[in-house]
Amino acid sequence: MDYYSSHINKLIEQFSRLPGIGTKSAQRIAFHIIHMPKEQVKQMTDAIQEARENVRYCKECFTLTDKELCPICANEKRNHKQIMVVENTRDLAAYEKTGKYEGVYHVLHGAISPMLGIGPDDIRLKELIQRLQGEVDEVIIATNSSLEGETTAMYISKLIKPTGIKVTRIASGVPVGGDLEYIDEVTLLRAFEGRVEL
């Protein structure tokens, strides 16, 4: 039984298609938008439309940008000889928030997953290998600690090592504030193996 008019139902349905948005959240967003001033709604829809039309991949690192080069690749102060490989643009943003990394990135837009039918040709690996033809001292692999992320890291490592370029993997292990008794064995082992001298 429909509780709302067809326009409201349509709006709720569209919002519920977004990742992480369930029916209740979609209803809240829909009613919030219905009660917004019309000018604000127009600004929001214009921003969505403009982003969809103008955002594209950076020609160097393949993050999302509205210019030919993203601000990181265009920045001459960044260390272009150090490339951090990440799975998606959100991972890049997470590292940028630390304010400590001064190199550049390469965004794969996915990870190798034979179970899902995603192979090396389905992510931006060819483009990474092309970038390595230039002056590159180190490739930092910062894929997730999932099975797919580990598979991707191993594959990239095997591709790059013969070139003589230094390949490193980000450390992983016990999260800050985590209780050891609740952490799985693989994470504890990685934390132990990645220990550093104090």
What mean pLDDT comes out for the span 17-43? 94
Query: When comparing pLDDT for 33 and 182, which is higher?
Result: 33
pLDDT at residue 1 above 90? no
Rounded to an integer, what distance in angstroms lies between the CA atom of residue 150 and that of residue 112?
Answer: 9
pLDDT at residue 113 above 60? yes
Domain ranges (residues) in the chain: 78-192
Which amino acid does the sequence have at 45? T
45-63 pLDDT per residue, tens? 999 999 999 999 999 999 9
The pLDDT-based confidence of 110 (bands split at 50, 70, 90) is: very high
Tokens representing residue 124 in the block: 């931006």
Q: What is the pTM of this model?
A: 0.80
Return the axis-axis angle of helices 23-35 and 6-16, rounded to nearest 10°: 120
* Contact assessment for residue 121 and residue 142, using Cβ atoms and an 8 Å cutoff: no
88-107 pLDDT per residue, tens? 999 999 899 988 899 999 99
Q: What 8-state DSSP symbol labels residue 113? A: B
Among 15-29, 128-142, 184-198, name the one with the lowest average pLDDT: 184-198
Rounded to an integer, what distance in angstroms lies between the CA atom of residue 82 and that of residue 139?
Answer: 6
Could you give the C-alpha distances from 133 to 84, 107, 130, in angstroms and in order?
Answer: 16, 17, 6
**Percent of all residues in the chain with a pLDDT value above 70, rounded to a whole number:** 95
Rounded to an integer, what distance in angstroms lies between the CA atom of residue 88 and that of residue 194?
Answer: 24
Q: Does domain 78-192 have CATH number 3.40.630.30?
A: no
pLDDT at 98: 85
